[in-house]
């Protein structure tokens, strides 16, 4: 009996242990894949301002699909979900005003090339039809802000208007409408009463668009002026605040919320 048991023990196949070299190779493959995804497929962004409330709040952290609006390639084009930018898309893009070069912004696309846009009493009209915009937050609307509410009929006079856009704007007006030129997009924030958008700095060049926010992976209750505090001490102080209040100031109900 003992002899047979010994024979059976010898015959058991044991799974070979992973060597250090194999482990490092596997780890490298995971890191390279993750780096590729973060660099070329998705990117993380934090919402710094209230211009897209209530769709996106200050302190929402979103993953952005960098592939969907990218130029389609012949080799992998059929395998990836490329499509053009459409009305209603929320997009992350590089600010078109040179004064804010390198700044990432998030807005909703209202006009695509060829569209005719105008506002009357705060209502947006596209190609002659009033838009149904259930996503708009009206809590900061100001009827006396005639330029904001009756664009482009009212001449620009707001100090927030880009000087370049103020000069360029008349060349795009036909009748009562602003006409979106080829390769450009007209965007506005959902929080209309506070949003500085295409009415203030002009069209978004197609090449400036980074991608579309997919979902919120984390949301933290953040002061409205936090993005202006760029000093090292302020950043460390807020990081300490996040660590201390991670559980009680995280907006858990917004976790994994799809952005629409």
Task: Give the count of beta carbons closer than 10 Å to the beta carbon of residue 119.
Answer: 22
Q: What is the pLDDT of residue 20?
A: 72
Q: What is the pLDDT of residue 93?
A: 96
Q: What is the DSSP letter of 258?
A: B
User: In 2-132, where do the E strands start and end?
Assistant: 42-46, 60-65, 90-94, 104-111, 116-120, 123-126, 129-130
Query: CA nearest 208: which of 115, 107, 104, 113?
Result: 104
Q: What is the pLDDT of residue 6?
A: 46
Q: What is the pLDDT of residue 35?
A: 55
What averages of pLDDT result for each successive group of 10 residues across the chain (260 residues)?
Answer: 48 63 61 53 88 96 88 54 90 94 95 98 97 96 94 92 96 97 98 96 96 95 88 92 95 96
Task: Give the count of beta carbons closer than 10 Å to the beta carbon of residue 257.
Answer: 16
Query: CA nearest 69: which of 101, 98, 33, 94?
Result: 94
Q: How far apart are CA 259 and CA 233, in angstroms?
A: 33
Q: How far apart are CA 80 and CA 41, in angstroms?
A: 10
What is the residue whose two structure tokens read 């893009």?
93
Residues in the chain, overall count: 260
Q: What is the pLDDT of residue 209?
A: 95
Q: How far apart are CA 230 and CA 232, in angstroms?
A: 6
Separation in Å, CA 69 to CA 152, 204, 208:
28, 14, 11
Separation in Å, CA 118 to CA 109, 111, 142, 153, 257:
14, 10, 17, 8, 32
């Amino acid at each position: 009996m003992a002899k047979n048991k010994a024979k059976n023990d010898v015959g058991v196949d044991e799974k070979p242990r992973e060597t250090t070299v194999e482990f490092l190779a596997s780890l490298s493959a995971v890191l390279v894949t993750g780096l590729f995804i973060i660099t070329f497929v998705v990117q993380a962004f934090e919402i710094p301002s209230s211009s897209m409330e209530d769709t996106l709040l200050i302190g929402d952290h979103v993953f952005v699909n960098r592939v969907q609006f990218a130029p389609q390639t012949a080799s992998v084009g059929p395998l990836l979900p490329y499509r053009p930018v459409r009305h209603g898309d929320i997009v992350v893009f590089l600010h078109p005003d040179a004064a804010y070069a390198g700044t990432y912004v998030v807005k909703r696309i209202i006009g695509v090339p060829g569209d005719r846009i105008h506002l009357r009493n705060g209502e947006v009209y596209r190609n002659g039809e009033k838009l149904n915009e259930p996503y708009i937050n009206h809590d900061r609307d100001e009827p006396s802000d005639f330029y904001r509410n009756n664009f482009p009929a009212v001449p620009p006079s707001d100090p927030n208007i880009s000087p370049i856009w103020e000069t360029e704007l008349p060349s795009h007006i036909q009748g009562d409408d602003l006409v979106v030129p080829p390769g450009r997009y007209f965007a506005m924030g959902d929080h209309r009463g506070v949003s500085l958008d295409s009415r203030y700095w002009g069209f978004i060049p197609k090449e400036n668009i980074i991608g579309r926010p997919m979902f919120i992976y984390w949301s933290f209750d953040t002061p409205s002026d936090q993005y202006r505090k760029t000093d090292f001490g302020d950043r460390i102080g807020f990081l300490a605040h996040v660590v201390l209040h991670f559980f009680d100031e995280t907006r858990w109900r917004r976790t994994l919320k799809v952005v629409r």
